[in-house]
Amino acid sequence: MEVWNVTDTENLVLSPKTIVGFIGDIFHRRGADSYLGEDVTMSEHMLQGAYLAEQAGADDQVIAAALLHDIGHYTNEFPEDALEKGVNNYHDVAGAEVIKDFFPALVIDSIRYHVAAKRYLCAVEGDYFDRLSDASVHTLNLQGGPMSQEEVKEFQTFPHLETIVQVRRWDDEGKVAGVSTPEFSYYAPLLQRIVDAHCEF
């Protein structure tokens, strides 16, 4: 697994052989960034999501989705042409776009719709809102609030709905300070297996 020097984005070409190392380098360099007012860092949050998925017996793709769900917060690290339009997209959409060539639809959809899943759960579960952190309530307001009934009906037709919602739940749970989880390097082989299988021609 090659690890990119992402400061050299001018000559950066992502491929199935380099994407996992590239993401790993981001985790290593940027993982200590604060996570939107939460009590954990960005890497702690994403690693907790993956660990929760693994402890629940989830398969590799679901663990990968839980690990990478917030990768869109790092889109400024990707080459300029990684997003056809708008590095300034919302992090859910942007995150899905920058890695969509390397991972299967279940992983990408779980990333693309994890914000929508929060809005969905607020609309369909009466006590869900009360379990959100203060920071998550704040971002919910910026993200459009709970879904309307029309939006709920449409969302319920999405492929991979069950996984999308479950990744959202692990997103909400993965904000506990002091939890011990494996490092990114532990999950790297899992990610590479998924990439290799998806990109095999």
Q: List pLDDT tens digits, range 86-96.
A: 344 478 888 89
pTM of the shown model: 0.86
**Across residues 101-117, what is the average pLDDT?**
95
Cα Rg of the chain, angstroms: 16
pLDDT of residue 164: 97
Angle 176-161-45 (CA atoms, 0-180°, nearest 5)? 15
Lowest mean pLDDT among 32-46, 55-69, 83-97: 83-97
- Label residue 183 by pLDDT band (50, 70, 90): very high
Q: To the nearest whole number, what is the mean pLDDT of the chain? A: 86
Domain boundaries in the chain?
9-199
| Whole-angstrom distance, CA of residue 177 vs CA of residue 79 | 32
What is the share, in percent, of the chain residues with pLDDT greater than 70? 85
Instruction: Give the bridge partners for 120, in sequence order.
Output: none
Residue type for position 97: E
| Whole-angstrom distance, CA of residue 66 vs CA of residue 163 | 10
Backbone angles phi, psi at 34, to 5 degrees: -65, 150
Enter the tokens of residue 89. Answer: 């997209």
Superfamily holding 9-199: Hypothetical protein af1432 (1.10.3210.10)
Q: Give the model confidence (pLDDT) of 69-86 as tens digits.
A: 999 888 777 665 544 443
pLDDT of residue 86: 38
